[in-house]
Structure 1
Amino acid sequence: MMWPSSQASKILTFLLFIVVVYCIYMDTFLFLRIQNYRIDIYESVENATQESSTHKSIKQQNYEDVVWVPCTINPLCHPTVKALMVDHINHYIYGPLCAILDIGLGISERMLFLTPNMISFFHVLIACLGAKLLTCQSLVARRSAIVLFQIRMFLDDLDGHVARERKHIKGERSEVGSLGYWVDGICDLLGVTAMIIGILFYLKNNPPRRGYKGTPVSTLPYHQLKEINTSEDIEKEHTDVGISYKTKVTFQRIVQVLGLFSGQMVLSSLAWNRYIDMYQDMLENCTGYDAWRREDTFRSGTFFFATSLWRIVNPHSYLHLLSLAVFCDKMWVFLKTVHYSGYVGLVITVGASEYLVESIRAFVVNG
């Protein structure tokens, strides 16, 4: 290990507490910013032919005029549909860091030879190296792999940032159907696949164990006794409470658990991108719809809550949690915990989104 386990636990617990508090703080201020200040995508509402003098957006200030953190690095300045649905780490931590790195190195303005697609291809190479380290028995190597995968996710955020800066686009947006959209998606898929394959090989070579503690084998129930006897590998340990019989988890079970988790990732990614596309079409891209209704929907607490659910169950959040589990050497425990239960949260989020889509369509599209 890199350091004593007790020290590592204290440091990780403290850092996690700080991150959670920071994200809750930023979510709160994001909601207040949406409610109390003008929103970029609806600034054209001022020029509408309707009674604009009484509209709330006319009375509100520009957020840039009152905030002390420059909007070039402030993740609250330009709220968009996608910004409300991006996971907390990418939006509140990696996003500002990408902006700072871009300002420092001048990637968007001076390093024109470095394209967003090149950054995407590069983070796939980093993912392959990280996948190789994930197969190692050494916890230090696996933790190094997690560092590489976090760099990969940072670069995944950087390629989007550079693309938007060069096109002078404010805020997070998905340009569905563009070349960059497909390249970014394919590179993300390759990076995640590399991580899953690395974990699969590690678990295959170092299968987790399950056992029955504190009970002599002669007193075990028949179904448990049968499970132990059919195993090819049995380890017997003496403990304070009796004897522990441990068996290796079969490779078939490993594939099943990892496959179910991968299925969650795929479904989450497809649904997440689908709802971003639908919300953008109804609230941002189609100026033919009533501007007042679009803005009121975007400001509503219901919309904020529904999009906040995607902050938790989107594929990037899954990857961050899996990375944390690997770093803490709790990979198998995490996978077993979420390989079924994760689908419940995903179904709830999809159901809430479908209901919201129909409500928005009735209110904004159909009037």
Structure 2
Amino acid sequence: MMWPSSQASKILTFLLFLIVIYCVNMDTFLFLRIQNYKIDTFETRENSTLQESSTHTVDTLQNYEDATWVPCSINPLCHPTVKGLMVDHINHYIYGPFSAIVDVSVQLSEKMLFITPNMISVFHVFIAILGAKLLTCPNLVARRIAVVLFQIRMFLDDLDGHVARERKHIKGERSEVGSLGYWVDGICDLLGVVSMMVGIGLYLRNNPPRRGYKGIPVSTLPYHQLKEINSTEDIEKNSTAEIGISYKTKVTFQRIIQVIGLFSGQMVISSLAWNRYIDIYQELLENCTECDVYKRMSSFKSGTFFSATLMWRIVNPHSYLHLLSLAVFCDKTWGFLKSVHYFGYLVLVVAVGLSEYYVECVRAYILGSIENL
């Protein structure tokens, strides 16, 4: 280990506590910022049929840039967008501002034009491959270094998007669906995730977790069960006359592949759903310039919409990777995978069901079918 396990546990617990408190506070500040200040998306006047009330509502709101002491170049609250509201907490509140600080420090987007966002995307794939190699090591120190490398990969994934937006003078997080950068970024993300899952799979194959049958009296163990265990799995046997038999059996590689496959399936579904709702909400709230700006703005500012996006900040694929990285760092990889490989699907079904219902409500409200949302 890098340090004594007890000390590592205390430090890690303290850091996690600080991160949770920080993210909760930032969520609170983000909600208050959306409620009380202008949103860039709704300051345009392209709709000639705006109601007087909607114009009045937009014009009387204060600019957030005039109220905050944190420069908007590094402030993740300045330019809230649909995608910004759905990006996971670590990327939005930690890696996002850090990317901006790095960019400002080295002037990556202004002067280092030979470094393109796509080059950064491809580079973090190589970091992921190196991290995957370290994940296969039996040494916990090596696997913890791998976790650090994968977090660097996720930071670079945020940095390439930041550089792309700065060079195009785009404020806030946005998905440019169909662009070359969109596909390069998506493919590189996929390769990074696949590398991580392959590394974990190879580690578990070479160091299979064990499951035990403890304290089973010899007289109560069925013969067919004893024969099946002895014939299919490696057994460590300890026996005493009073206690009976204690079996510790290695989990089969087939079972390992099954669990990893089910977890990977959750990530695929989460990614598809997450991107789907970003696209839908962007079209309805940000790109639908012929729609009434007041309805778009009131939908964006509603507490229900904030809750709907908060749900996807928690269950999006990046959050899955952060939790998996934490499990690897704590040497609890198998326990984490096994605990969520079925339960996670239930969470996704609930998230998708609620989102589909809410999307229809937003669409009906903005397109005029209902009066209030």
CA contact (8 A) 2:214 2:245 kept: yes
Give the Cα–Cα distance (whole angstroms) in 1 for the partners of residues 55 and 291 of structure 2: 20
Match of 2:229 in 1: 228
SS in 2 for 1:200: helix
The answer as to 2:249 corresponding to 1:247 is yes
Give the Cα–Cα distance (whole angstroms) in 2 for the partners of residues 153 and 218 of structure 1: 54
Give the Cα–Cα distance (whole angstroms) in 1 for the partners of residues 304 and 171 of structure 2: 24
Residues 250-265 of structure 1 mapped to structure 2, 5 A cutoff: 250-265=252-267
Give the Cα–Cα distance (whole angstroms) in 1 for the partners of residues 196 and 102 of structure 2: 26
Match of 2:156 in 1: 155
Asked which structure has the greater RCO (Cα within 8 Å, sep 6+), the reply is 2
User: What is the Cα deviation at residue 61 of structure 1?
Assistant: 0.8
Amino acid at match of 2:86: M
**Superposition RMSD in Å:** 1.9
SS in 2 for 1:177: coil
Structure 1 portions without partners, runs of 5+: none
The partner residue of 2:315 within 313, 316, 322 is: 313
Can you list the C-alpha shifts for 1:59-102, whole angstroms capped at 9, x where unaligned? Answer: 22111101111111111111100011000000000000000000
| TM-score for the superposition, normalised by structure 1 | 0.96
Residues 184-199 of structure 1 mapped to structure 2, 5 A cutoff: 184-199=185-200
CA contact (8 A) 1:85 1:308 kept: yes
SS in 2 for 1:214: strand
User: What is the Cα deviation at residue 298 of structure 1?
Assistant: 0.4
Match of 1:302 in 2: 304
Match of 2:290 in 1: 288
Amino acid at match of 1:235: E
Match of 1:27 in 2: 27
Q: What percent identity do the matched residue pairs reach?
A: 76
Give the Cα–Cα distance (whole angstroms) in 2 for the partners of residues 147 and 268 of structure 1: 24
Structure 2 portions without partners, runs of 5+: none
Match of 1:44 in 2: 44
Give the Cα–Cα distance (whole angstroms) in 1 for the partners of residues 218 and 44 of structure 2: 75
Give the Cα–Cα distance (whole angstroms) in 1 for the partners of residues 17 and 218 of structure 2: 43
Match of 1:67 in 2: 68
CA contact (8 A) 2:47 2:293 kept: no
Give the Cα–Cα distance (whole angstroms) in 2 for the partners of residues 358 and 222 of structure 1: 58
Match of 1:352 in 2: 354
SS in 2 for 1:211: strand
Change (3 A) 1:222 1:100: farther
SS in 2 for 1:213: strand
Can you list the C-alpha shifts for 1:112-150, whole angstroms capped at 9, x where unaligned? Answer: 000000000000000000000001110011101010000
Give the Cα–Cα distance (whole angstroms) in 2 for the partners of residues 264 and 221 of structure 1: 37
| TM-score for the superposition, normalised by structure 2 | 0.94
The answer as to 2:173 corresponding to 1:175 is no
Amino acid at match of 2:359: V
CA contact (8 A) 1:268 1:314 kept: yes
The answer as to 2:125 corresponding to 1:124 is yes
Match of 1:137 in 2: 138
CA contact (8 A) 1:137 1:206 kept: yes
- Where has structure 1 moved over 6 Å in runs of 4 or more? 238-242
CA contact (8 A) 1:45 1:292 kept: no
CA contact (8 A) 1:237 1:245 kept: yes
Give the Cα–Cα distance (whole angstroms) in 2 for the partners of residues 183 and 195 of structure 1: 18
Q: How many residues align?
A: 367
User: What is the Cα deviation at residue 245 of structure 1?
Assistant: 1.3
Give the Cα–Cα distance (whole angstroms) in 2 for the partners of residues 295 and 271 of structure 1: 24
Comparing 213-222 and 22-31, the one that deviates more: 213-222
User: What is the Cα deviation at residue 18 of structure 1?
Assistant: 0.6
Amino acid at match of 1:140: V
Amino acid at match of 1:105: V
